[in-house]
A and B are shown apart, each in its own frame.
Chain A
């Protein structure tokens, strides 16, 4: 007997898939943000050697398909390093590294967006390089980078759909499963697409709200 009709349980499946997608998105975004920012700080301190390596790795990650990176970690690492990560582990590593590479670029341009004169003035007042970074650069860089970061995160949310290819039961994989069972591709993929769309809109709205708050004190108030 084949269950080709939609059942109420399919909604639970979809919710589960959405949960996996959102959880992986949030987790890898946080790791990516932390690592990418750290890379940016390494560059700020001009650590010799390390800066060049980071820039090279970031370029490589930015300019290659996420799918290939996923395959490299999921199929390549177990064969080469005898390191079996499982689909979720491979997904977390790949998505985090990919997000970090893009965050690094944003962090670098955000740090460079602050005028040299401000940094020099702060240094003359006797602030250490760390204090300059913490109290002069960081607040302004955060406001500067929130726009590009929101765009990046909206994009990364969509990139998470690729992990369905290596067998993580995320929203896309649930979609594929339902599609195979019910053979109603239009309904299934429309619903899946709508869920992704709503999630992306939520991220964009939150980003815009945070940006308004961070920029509140620099906003033009009128004469």
Chain B
């Protein structure tokens, strides 16, 4: 069979719809994941033993169980206890929870990397613990963990393809439909592979730029 990409041309708009949905899901899950990651990172760096344990257990559990199992747990399990939400919401929630486990590790590393002198100075200045966290710890930690958070986002984009298994027609789901419409699965999935690779490459470029921009005062050449 000839490798013919022109068969895909009529379906480009359809695929773009899927790509848009993928972007939307990943964007929402990124926000959810980072917020959850921040809370968990604070819990994991707290001196309270119990809070620390619970946070560590959450990270350990969600990092060591396959995403598809977590997803099915939520998708089939939630209606059982009377929570009826659609595939989109389930996908965003599951992706946020799984991403939050990874994000918390990145943010925790950022928090632990903060110079204790800064924290002591803040305490001596009489700032409350809340203010120290909100105004000093989090901004510094988030700034230094832009790069690891970026790889969390890239992983999220790749993982979001699994959402096609719960009838959410994002990029992979739409491509599945196109493949069965055109009977050209090889071309469709090959293009999809390249599109995902290009997408994640662009995202990683953007992250590198953001990292440089946010940390510009740290990378100034000395002297």
Task: Say whether, besides A80-B1, A176-B72, A189-B69, A196 and B64 are in contact (CB < 8 Å).
Answer: yes
Beta-carbon nearest neighbor of A70 in chain B? B189
Instruction: Tell me which residues from 162 to 219 in chain A have a Cβ below 8 Å from any Cβ of chain B.
Output: 162, 164-165, 172, 175-176, 179, 184-186, 189-190, 192-193, 196-197, 200-201
A80-B73 CB under 8 A given contacts A60-B193, A65-B158, A172-B66: no
Instruction: Give the interface size class of chain A.
Output: 35 or more
Query: Which single member of B172, B186, B194, B200 contacts A67 (CB below 8 Å)?
Result: B172
Which single residue of chain A is at the shortest CB-CB distance from B69? A193
Judge whether B77 and A185 touch: CB under 8 Å.
Answer: yes
Residues on B with C-beta less than 8 A from A68 are 161, 172, 175, 189, 192-193, 196
A72 to B194, CA, bound (A): 12
**Could you give, for residues 135-163 of chain B, a 1 whenever the CB lies within 8 Å of some chain A CB and a 0 otherwise?**
00000000000000000001000111110
In the bound complex, residues from chain B placing their C-beta under 8 Å from that of A160 are 66
A75 at the interface (CB under 8 A from B): yes
Chain B, interface size category, equals 35 or more
- CB of A72 within 8 A of CB of B69, answer no
Given known A63-B201, A185-B80, contact A161–B66 (CB-CB < 8 A): yes
Counting chain B CB atoms within 10 Å of each CB, the highest count among A176, A185, A186 belongs to A185
Measured between beta carbons, the chain A residues less than 8 angstroms from B193 are: 60, 64, 68-69, 72
Q: How far is the CB of B199 from chain A (nearest CB, A)?
A: 8
Question: Which of A65, A76, A197 is within 8 Å of B190, CB to CB?
Answer: A76
Q: Known contacts being A72-B193, A175-B72, A185-B76, is A200 close to B64, with CB within 8 Å? A: yes
How many interface contacts (CB-CB < 8 Å) are there between A and B? 128
- Using CB atoms, name the residue of chain B closest to A197: B64
28 A-B pairs with C-beta separation under 8 A: A60-B194, A60-B197, A63-B154, A63-B158, A63-B196, A64-B158, A65-B158, A65-B162, A65-B172, A67-B162, A69-B193, A71-B176, A71-B189, A72-B192, A76-B190, A80-B1, A80-B3, A158-B64, A158-B66, A158-B67, A161-B68, A162-B68, A179-B72, A186-B73, A186-B80, A189-B77, A193-B70, A200-B64
Residues of B within 8 A of A (CB): 1, 3, 61, 64-70, 72-73, 76-77, 80, 154, 158-162, 164-165, 172, 175-176, 179, 183-190, 192-194, 196-197, 200-201
